[in-house]
Structure 1
Amino acid sequence: MRVLLSTYGTRGDVDPLAALAVELRGLGVQVRMCTPPDEEFTRRLAGLGIESFPAGPPVRDLMRRAAPPSPAELARYRADLVDTQFAVLPAAAEGCDVLIAAGLAQVAARSVAEAAGIRYVYVTYSAVNLPSPHHAPPPRPGWPEPEDADNLTRWDLDARAVDAQFREPLNRHRAGLGLPPVENVRDHVYSDQPWLAADPVLGPWPRTPGLDVIQTGAWVQPDDRPLPADLVAFLAAGPPPVYVGFGSISPAPGIARWAVEASRARGYRVLVSRGWADLDLVDGQEECFAIGEVNHQRLFSELAAVVHHGGAGTTQTAARAGVPQVVVPIRLADNPYWARQVAVHQIGATLDGAAATVETLGAAFDAALASQERAAALGAEIRTDGAAVAARLVVGTLG
């Protein structure tokens, strides 16, 4: 059996598919992956022995721009990405039995699977990405968010926005493949039975008529890498520190510095994760230490709290470690959703980054620390077998 896994995005988009790839290979499945061409992704896949097919421009360049792209630039970017997918995916899917696509940006994937006569699965990492009256659509960069509308109305408007962006280029390519046109692009991409790769305790699917969602649990590859020696020495030199990191996101101005100040004011040492924003707030004081990419699964259990942006992977790793969280999301994708889940489960505190001050961040920090007992209890409930569950589904029901 051969499976093609495809996504476009940051590490939070690529890492779960890599975890599934490892589990599939353990079951004797041949795996290929289509990802952005960023060196860190191609290098990691090569290290795992997974054949890669780069597609689209480097995503890191987009995330590190000094100013966010304009709506017109994003529209061109998305249209170009559809053309690129139709150029790359057919060759990547050749000889495959299943195509698994992660994220709404994979507009071409289902059509390529149809043309090749192979099975197709759409997967998302957060319940908020699927239509339901229980929540509104996630914020989509470059598209306006309607105000004073109920959730179903907002989902209808969301579908119209997706159609306006993608229907013409999608149907143009489908016609070239001899396939019929699509009316509702978003629902076409999602399919009637999408998979949800999120923890059922932390991010459950609210049952919704008309959508048969299969929730597998989060796809996480066990990470046994040791922590760097200098980080180990820092951890051993004092009480558990606070982690401040925002992954591939550039936080709102002042947030990272205020998080460090609030931690220090309460007697905590601080770890600053540089991330794609190249944060470096170390001022020579011994209680503050900057780190690069390290094993979060091993690190987070050594911490007093985690201050972060609300990415699915970081939220779930911190929850599994049983450590309190302070989530400062920007209005992008599923970040606000995971911030709400942290608040709903009372395992930390959340703060609107655009309206934050050093005082409100300090108050959020105090509230998060007060949730330590609840965070530890919920951590014991988090599942760790999501990728293995999904791999068995692929082999058992799609093979």
Structure 2
Amino acid sequence: MRVLFSTYGSRGSVEPIAGLAVRLRELGAQVRVCAPPDEEFASRLAGLGVPLVPTGRPVRPLVTTVTPGSAEGLAQRVAELMAAQFDTVAAAAEGCDVLVAAGPLPVTAGSRSVAEKLGIRYVHVSHQPVLLPSPYRRPPARRGRPLPPDATDNRALWDLDAQIANTMFGEVLNTNRASIGLPAVDNVRDYAFTDRPWLATDPVLSPWQPTDLDVVQTGAWIQTDERPLPDDLVAFLDAGAPPVYVGFGSTPVSAPQDLVRAAVEAIRAQGRRAVLSPGWAELAPIDDRDDCFTVGEVNHQALFRRTAAVVHHGSAGTTTTAARAGAPQVVVPHAGDHPYWAGRVADLGIGAAHDNPAATFESLSTALRTALTPETRARAAAVADTIRTDGTTVAAKLLLDDAG
């Protein structure tokens, strides 16, 4: 069986795909991944032995230079990304049996069009639930297209979201479809999602309430990381009590050094040391004291097991990794699905949810006091035992069984 993946986004968009690709290969399938050409993604996939087909422009410059929520330059980026699906992804999909797509609508709608043209199976997957239409929550606002703040009818808002998606992506999609002899579609979002989308999240961390969609929840797609921690990091961990990790991954952070200062000072006020991950926001230590250690690209699965708590942005990947490690969490949400995961952490009692990205010494101190209690630690350990580890196996078997 030959499987092609298409995705576009930051680390959280690529890492789960890599996990499933590895599992499929172990079960005898041939796999390739169309993903951004950023060096860190190429290196990660190469280390796992997964072939990369570079697609589109590097993501990091876009993420770190575009104002969060801004629609500036969006039309050009949409056109480029859509064209890449009909060009690069279409070429890579020749001879494949299935095309699995994740990420923004230009990727998934374009990928489904490619699969339609080639007559191969298409699967839409989401690594977080907030984009899937549901009467139980509001849709997130699309860039430059705010939703009515006072509207409370979620179904009506999801209908409006579909209209907004058509306005933003319909013309460019249908122009590309016409170029390969396909008819126009009148609902870009629902065409991309299909009636049976997959949801690759853990059912304890992210329970899906049944809707009109026939959602297939596989569990999170996690690739076991066996890389040893660097010797100097191990020495730091061994030299004292478990530290508090601070990192915001590939999320742009406004006033990053103000956030770092607030976090480190709050951690010190609790009598703890800190491990700082610079990430794409390029966070830097606030001084040269030896109670704060800066790490680069490391095995978070191993590191989080040795922390007192994890302070992070609230991506699906980091939230799941910390939960599996039994590490209490402080989630400081910035955008996208971050508020959802912050709410889940608080609801499960495995940490604290910060109200907004503007964290201060006082607000982080309050959140850390909650996260560092024995009760939160015990609850985090209990939830860790419930997190499924077979998400990639479930998804791989679904693909292979349906092909057979």
Instruction: Spell out, residue by residue over 1:358-397, the C-alpha distance to the aligned partner (whole angstroms, 9 max, x if none).
Output: 2112111112223222111111100111011111111011
Contact 1:244–1:259 under 8 Å retained in 2: yes
1:249 maps to amino acid: T
How far did residue 77 of structure 1 move?
Answer: 1.3
- Distance in 1, matches of 2:166 and 2:273, equals 49
Distance between the aligned counterparts of 2:283 and 2:363, measured in 1? Answer: 21
Query: Helix, strand or coil for the counterpart of 1:100?
Result: strand
Secondary structure of the residue aligned to 1:121 is strand
C-alpha separation between the residues in 2 aligned to 1:184 and 1:131?
A: 13
Partner of residue 130 from structure 1, selected from 114, 129, 132 = 132
1:120-159 deviation per Cα after TM superposition (whole angstroms, max 9, x unaligned): 0000011212000111123433332330112222212211
Q: Is the 8 A contact 1:245 1:273 kept in 2?
A: yes
Deviation at 1:351, TM superposition (A): 1.1
The answer (yes or no) to whether the contact 1:103–1:122 under 8 Å persists in 2 is: no
User: How far off its partner does 1:204 sit?
Assistant: 1.3
Deviation at 1:326, TM superposition (A): 0.4
TM-score, with structure 1 as normaliser:
0.96
Give distance in 1, aligned partners of 2:64 and 2:114.
31
In structure 2, C-alpha distance between the alignment counterparts of 1:375 and 1:69, rounded to whole Å:
33
**Judging changes above 3 Å, is the alpha-carbon distance between structure 1 residues 354 and 307 closer, same or farther for their aligned structure 2 residues?**
closer
Of 149-158 and 127-136, more deviation after overlay is shown by: 149-158
Equivalent-residue separation in structure 1 for 2:322 and 2:272 (angstroms): 18
Answer yes or no: is the 8 Å Cα contact 1:98–1:120 preserved in 2: yes
Deviations 1:315-354 (A, max 9, x none): 0000111111000011x22111111111111111111334
Cα separation, partners in 2 of 1:373 and 1:356, compared to 1, 3 Å = same
Alignment partner, residue 332 of structure 2: 328
Mean CA deviation greater in 360-369 or 188-197: 360-369
Which residue number corresponds to residue 230 of structure 1?
232
Aligned residue number for residue 340 of structure 2: 337
In structure 1, the partner of 2:95 is: 95
The answer as to whether partners of 1:140 and 1:333 remain within 8 angstroms in 2 is no
2:216 paired with 1:211: no
- Given that 2:262 and 2:359 are in contact with CA atoms closer than 8 Å, whether structure 1 keeps it comes out as no
Q: How big is the alpha-carbon RMSD for the aligned residues of Structure 1 and Structure 2?
A: 1.4
**1:35-74 paired onto structure 2 within 5 Å:** 35-65=35-65, 67-68=67-68, 70-74=70-74
The whole-number CA distance in structure 1 between the counterparts of 2:348 and 2:209 is 15
The answer to whether residue 395 in structure 2 is matched with residue 393 in structure 1 is no
Aligned twin of 2:185: 182
Q: When the two structures are aligned, how many residues end up with a matched partner?
A: 397
Residues of 1 paired with 2:169 and 2:223: CA distance? 33
Q: 1:69 to 1:319 in 2, by over 3 A?
A: closer
| Equivalent-residue separation in structure 2 for 1:12 and 1:376 (angstroms) | 24
Q: For structure 2, list consecutive stretches of 5 or more residues without a partner in the other structure.
A: none
Q: Taking every aligned residue pair, what percent have the same amino acid on both sides?
A: 58
4+ residue runs over 6 A deviation:
none
| Matched ranges for 1:365-380 at <5 A | 365-370=368-373, 371-380=376-385
Aligned mates of 1:270, 1:155 — CA distance in 2: 42
Shift of 1:238: 0.1
Does residue 326 of structure 2 align to residue 284 of structure 1? no
Alignment of 1:300-339 (within 5 A): 300-330=304-334, 332-339=335-342
Distance 1:270 1:311 in 2: 20
